[in-house]
Amino acid sequence: MRDTRRLRLPRLSIRSLPGLLAALLLPFGLLTPAAAAASPPDATAAADPVRIMPLGDSITGSPGCWRALLWNRLQDAGHTGVDFVGTLPPQGCGIAHDGDNEGHGGELVTNVASQGLLPARLAATRPDIVVMHFGTNDVWSNIAPDRILAAYDTLLTQMRESNPDIRVLVAQLIPMNPATCAACAQRIVDLNARIPAWAAGAHTSRSPVVVVDQWTGFDTATDTYDGVHPDASGDEKIAARWFPALAAQLGSTPGDPGDPTLTCTASFRSVSVWQGGYQAEVTVRNTSAAPVRGWTVTLRPADGARVTQVWNGTLKSAADGTATVADAGWNGALAPGASTAFGLIATTTAGPAAPAATADCAATPAS
């Protein structure tokens, strides 16, 4: 965090009188040669840096090596005018970086909200962007998603009171599977499923809220050292997911690797079942940091089922039973975190097994 303490000006001495006299003579056009040759102000002086607060618990703070990787990735991409801020100093990690952060080990987001801990931290750091991965300890403590999302509401209100133009990147949390909490893995899934809808309701054009999917592709067996905290592989994955979303908020520079990565997810849900067929719904969600103008879902029904009818989408079927469903036009454009759905009818020769399908989603950039 930059040092903003006011500098004490030295007292005027006799040696400064020639400069003072030159200043007094300016209105009369009587410049000394030295004053006439003085250089104009540096027009390339750097603007104030963008202040970025990494906010969360020990996954963010101790040692939080993904922050170091993210900082250096931003620098390498040309985003040098950034300042990571927080009331905590670097907490380890042997990589040179701006280590200020707000990752307090053991904290619950519900406690931070109920105890009013965030406003003082905001006042001390004045962030422009918050990068938030928060709620793991709440999940571990079996706190319901409703209470966690209510805490998100409280923190977001406090952020906007501190800075009405604040931008918030909120993570769908990395998986957790500690030896002492068999139920935690599913609890994380349940919370993550609720975060995009929360973000969509909280998003405004002045103070955007963007969901960053930190869950997909993260494996607790290989990407954590204890089922909870990231190891070196996990740090790499976390930094890689934050980078395009954060770079999109900072604006493009010649060093950027291109447009932000566009991602979407498709989730299959059975609605009703009858002999020889079923009805299902597929929810499509924009999980990237930028809007999309269209989407395509590749659906592979299990047990030999065939999709025969679709509404709110355009169906193409392959000989092997794979169904490709594109948006219907009116429901193709999705803001970050927004979702839509299409319905389908399928025929099947399977027995009483519940309908199932794998679904992959591809997004089209907004023009």
Average pLDDT over residues 301-321: 90
- Given a cut of 90, whether residue 244 has pLDDT beyond it is no
- Are 343 and 281 in contact, with CB atoms under 8 Å apart? yes
Q: Which residues contact 237 (CB under 8 A, 6 or more apart)?
A: 214, 217, 218, 223, 230
What is the per-residue pLDDT for 231?
94
pLDDT of residue 13: 37
Q: 9, exposed or middle or buried, with CB in 10 Å at 0-12, 13-18, 19+?
A: exposed
Residue 128: per-residue pLDDT: 97
The distance from CA 342 to its chain's CA centroid, rounded to whole angstroms, is 27
pLDDT of res. 351? 66
Q: What is the pLDDT of residue 303?
A: 85
Give the C-alpha distances (Å, rounded to integers) separating 212 from 42, 185, 247: 39, 19, 12
pTM of the predicted protein model: 0.62
Confidence of residue 232 (pLDDT cuts 50, 70, 90): very high
SS3 109: helix
The model's pLDDT over 135-161, given as tens digits with 9 standing for 90+, comes to 999 999 999 999 999 999 999 999 999
What does the alpha-carbon distance between residue 233 and residue 239 come to, in Å, rounded to a whole number?
Answer: 10
Helices (H), 79-170: 109-114, 118-125, 136-140, 145-162
On the question of pLDDT at 129 being above 80, the answer is yes
50 near 82, Cβ under 8 Å?
A: yes
What is the chain's mean pLDDT, rounded? Answer: 83
Is residue 256 pLDDT above 60, yes or no?
Answer: no
Residue 26 pLDDT exceeds 50: no
Task: Please calculate the CA angle 104-109-113 and round it to the nearest 5 degrees.
Answer: 110
**Residue 323 in this model has a pLDDT that exceeds 70:** yes
Q: Is the pLDDT of residue 272 over 60?
A: yes
